[in-house]
Chain A
Amino acid sequence: MNTELLIPLLAAAVVSGTPILYATLGEIITEKSGVLNLGVEGAMMMGCFTAFITAKLTGQPWLAFFAAGLAGLLTASLHGVICLVFQGNQVVSGLALTIFGAGLANYLGTPYIGLAAPGFSPVPIPGLAHIPVLGPILFNHDPLVYLSYLAPFAVGIFFRHSRFGLSLRSVGEFPAAALAAGLNATAYRWAGILAGGFFMGLGGAYLSLAYTHLWTNNLTAGRGWIAVALVIFAFWRPGRAVFGAYLFGGIMALQLRLQAGGTSLPSSLLLMLPYALTVAVLLFSCWRQGTRAPANLGVNIEPSS
C-alpha cells in the first residue's frame, strides 16, 4: 500500500478510534475503583442521543458535548444505585444498563432518524498540520479529537500523582484497607462510576457530533463492548488504551474503505472484522499477562451493620 492510501487510512483510524478511546478511558476509571460497569454501551447510547438532540435544539456543539457527558454520568448513576446502594450483582446490573440505555436512546430518538444536527468539523492546527505524514494523520481533525489526545495524559496523571486518584485505586484493590485508613470506600466508588460514565457519554457524543452528524438507531454498534475488551487489552493503563482504540479505529476505517471500494468480499464478512479482532486482542492480552485487574473488581462492599 502506498502513502497516498495509507495516510488517509491512518487519519481515519484516529477519527474512528476516538469514541472508543473516550469510552475505554471511562471504563478504566470505573474499574480502577473496583466496579465493573458493563453498561458502557448503554451510557454511550444515551450520550450519543443527548449530544444529538442538544445540538439540534440549541445549535451549540460544545454544550451538546458537555450534556452528553452528563447523560452518560446519569445513566451510570443507575449502576451506582443498584450496586452501591442496593448491593446488586455488578454483571447483571451492567447488562440491564446496556439494555435500558440503548432502548431509551432508540426510543427517544425514533422521530429524528435520518435527521442531521450541527456538530464539529476538522480544524487543522496551524503549523502542526503541515508536518509531513504526522500532520495529516494527527493534526487535521475536529477539536474533540485534539481533546482526546489530552485525556489519557490527564487520566494517567490523576491515577499516578493525585491523592484522590491513588485513594480511588486503593479502593479498587483492597477496600477493607482503604476503609481502615479512614477513606470512604463507597464514596470513591461513586466517584469512579460517575466520572467513568461522563467519559462514556463523551464517547457517544463523538459519534453523533463528529462521526456521522446524524441520528440513526443503534449508532454505537457494539463500540461500548469493544471498550470493555480494550480495558483488558490496555492492562488498565490509559496510554495503552490509545493504542488499542486506534487499532480498532483502523480496522473499522479499513472495513469501510473496502466496502466503498467495491471488493468481492460480502459486507457481512467485512462487518465481522472488528468483533473478531476484539476476540483476538483479548486472547493476545490474556496470553501476554500484563498488569492484572484491580484485585477487588466486581465485588461489592457489604454494608456494615
Chain B
Amino acid sequence: MAFFELRLAKRQEPSPLWRSALVFTGAVIVALGLSMLLLTVRDIAPLHGLQVLIMGAFGSGWALQDCLLKAIPLFLCSLGVAIAFRLRIWNIGAEGQFSLGAIGATWMALSFGGAPKLLLLPLMIVAACVSGGLWAMIPALFRQWLGANEIIVTLMLNYIGILLLDFLVYGVWRDSSGFPMTAAFSDNAIIGPIGTSSVHWGITHCLVLGLACWIFFRSTRLGYEIKACGDNVQTARYAGMPYSFLVVLVMVLSGTLAGWAGFLEVSATVHRLQPSIMVGYGFTAIVVAWLARLNPAGIALTSFLLAGLRAGVENLQLDLQIPAAFGSIMEGLILMTVLAGGFFLSYRIVLKRRA
C-alpha cells in the first residue's frame, strides 16, 4: 500500500445516468440505514421499522393513493422552487406561498360560495396564484432593489404567512362551531375525487403544469434566458439578458405554483381552511427539487417517493408510536447523503503509483 496513494481528479464530462442513479440509490440506502438505527433509541428493531415504513408507504392500494394525494402539493411546490433554483435564486418560502394560496382560494370560496362551479373554481385558482405570486414577489423586489438576501426574507415570510392563516381562522373566518377553522366550502368550491379513489382531479393540474414547465424551459426564450443566467450571470448580462426582470419572474412563477398547491389543498383535500393544512410540504419541496436535480420528470418521481416517506412515517406513528419528527430526520439525512454523494459524480478517485 505504501507504494500507492489516492488522488482526486475532476471528471471532464458530466456523469452518465447510470452513475447518477447508482450514487443516488447508494446515498438513500445509507440514509435509510442510519435513520433506522435511530429507531433502536425507542427499542424498535430497525428491520421491523423499515417494514412498517415501506408497508405504510407502498404496501397497499390505499397507501399508494395516500402517496399520490400527498405527492400533489409536493410536486407543485417543488416545481415552483425548482424554477427559482434554476436561476440560483434560493426560494425557501414555498411554505408561506402555499399558505397564502390557500388563503386566497378560501377568500373566494367564502365570498362567492353560491357562484357556479365553472366560475368559482377558476376564480379560486386565480386568487390563489395571485396571492402566492405576490407573496413571493416581495423577497424578489427586496433582493433586486436593496440586495436583501432572499433566503432570509423568504424564510421569515414563511413564519408570517403561516401566522396570517392562524390570524384569519382564529379571527374573522372562524366557523360558528368555535373551532379554529372556516366553515366547510360549498360544493361548487370543491374539486372532487376521481371515481371512488381518494385521489382528486387536481392531479390532472399537476400533469398540465408539469408539462407546461418542461416546455417553458425547453422551447421558450424566457426559459432559455433563465437557464443561461443561472449558469453564468455575468456572461448572460453581457449578452443583454434582463437579469432583474428574470429574478422577479421566477419568484412570481414559483409562488404561483406553491399558491396553486395551496388552492388544491383546501379545495380538493380538506374542503375548508384550517391550520393543520400546514404540514411542511413547502420545506420538503426544497428537498425534492434538489434530489431531482431540478428536472420536472425527476421532480414527479421524487415527490412520489418523498410522499411515500411521509405516508410511511405516519404508519410508524400509528403502529409504533414514533414521533412525527422522525420524518424530518430522514429527509435531512437523505438530503445530506445525496449531497455528499454528488462528490463522486464530479470527481473520481484514482490510485497512483508513487514515484
Tell me whether A and B are bound partners: yes
Taking Cβ atoms with an 8 Å cutoff, the residues of A that contact B are 38, 42, 78, 81-82, 85-89, 91-93, 95-108, 110, 217, 222, 225, 228-229, 232, 266, 268-269, 271-272, 275-276, 278-279, 282-283, 286-287, 302-303, 305
Give CA–CA (A305, B38) in the complex, Å.
Answer: 37
CB neighbours of A271 from chain B (8 A): 163
A286 to B, closest residue via Cβ: B146
A283–B335 touching, CB < 8 Å: no
A86–B142 touching, CB < 8 Å: no
6 A-B pairs, CB-CB below 8 angstroms?
A38-B151, A92-B339, A95-B92, A95-B335, A225-B155, A275-B157
A303 to B, closest residue via Cβ: B8
Give CA–CA (A86, B342) in the complex, Å.
Answer: 8
Nearest chain A CB to B313 CB, angstrom units:
10
Q: Which of B112-120, B123-131, B164-172, B232-240 contacts A (4 or more CB under 8 A)?
A: B164-172
Nearest chain A CB to B9 CB, angstrom units:
5
Known: A107-B325, A303-B8. A275 touches B170 (CB 8 A): no
Taking Cβ atoms with an 8 Å cutoff, the residues of B that contact A are 7-10, 38, 41, 90, 92, 142, 146-149, 151-153, 155-157, 159-160, 163-164, 166-167, 170-171, 283, 286-287, 290, 323, 325-333, 335-336, 339-343, 346-347
CB neighbours of A91 from chain B (8 A): 90, 151
A278 to B, closest residue via Cβ: B156
A232–B149 touching, CB < 8 Å: yes
Among A78, A103, A266, chain B packs the most CB atoms within 10 A around the CB of A103
Nearest chain B CB to A113 CB, angstrom units:
9
B159–A272 touching, CB < 8 Å: yes
Partner of B148, one of A92, A101, A282: A282
A99–B339 touching, CB < 8 Å: no
A92–B325 touching, CB < 8 Å: no
Partner of A275, one of B156, B287, B342: B156
Partner of A228, one of B38, B152, B159: B152
Give CA–CA (A89, B85) in the complex, Å.
Answer: 12
Give CA–CA (A266, B172) in the complex, Å.
Answer: 11
CB neighbours of A269 from chain B (8 A): 163, 167
CB neighbours of B142 from chain A (8 A): 279, 283, 286
Nearest chain B CB to A152 CB, angstrom units:
22
CB neighbours of B330 from chain A (8 A): 103
Nearest chain B CB to A43 CB, angstrom units:
13
Give CA–CA (A192, B329) in the complex, Å.
Answer: 25
Partner of B325, one of A95, A103, A275, A287: A103
Partner of A95, one of B157, B171, B286, B341: B286
Nearest chain B CB to A109 CB, angstrom units:
8
Give CA–CA (A30, B331) in the complex, Å.
Answer: 25
B9 to A, closest residue via Cβ: A305
Please give 20 more A-B residue pairs, beta carbons under 8 A apart, in addition to A104-B325, A266-B167, A268-B166.
A81-B340, A82-B340, A86-B340, A86-B342, A88-B340, A96-B339, A100-B333, A101-B332, A106-B328, A107-B326, A107-B328, A229-B152, A268-B163, A275-B156, A275-B157, A276-B156, A279-B142, A279-B156, A282-B152, A283-B148
CB neighbours of B159 from chain A (8 A): 222, 272, 275
B153–A282 touching, CB < 8 Å: yes
B323–A106 touching, CB < 8 Å: yes
Nearest chain A CB to B289 CB, angstrom units:
10
CB neighbours of A87 from chain B (8 A): 342-343, 346-347
